Amino acid sequence: MLNLKAIAVAAALTLSTAGLAMAAEGSAMDALTSATTVSFKTVTAAELNPLSPGYEQVDLDSLKARIQGSPALLAQLESFGATLDDVVGITGTDETDVTILVQG
């Protein structure tokens, strides 16, 4: 059953340009350009619950464009074993620490 949910979430994220991001103070997307720490995390469909508190919609095309426009970020993503197509969101604890979420 979890596999069906994962497929449904993946399909919904693919059909929409909006993904999910957890925001603390401010926007995690804004923090991406000034973050001193960028990490990557593999997430499951259960973790991409839009009803969770703190989640906000993010334009995935913009997020992917920012990653693609930064050779360092793109190299980190590839070192993590993921591609731009795997990116499903971003989360931030503050303006210096963000995590890019990849579909697992």
pLDDT in tens, 22-31: 443 457 777 7
pTM reported for the whole predicted model: 0.70
Between the two ends of the chain, the Cα-to-Cα distance in Å is: 16
Q: Which residues contact 2 (CB under 8 A, 6 or more apart)?
A: 44, 45, 46
Extract the tokens encoding 68. Answer: 């693609």
Contacts of 49 (CB under 8 A, 6+ apart): 55
Give the confidence band of 16 by pLDDT, cuts at 50, 70, 90: very low
Residue 73 in this model has a pLDDT that exceeds 60 = yes
Which is higher by pLDDT, 67 or 55?
Answer: 67
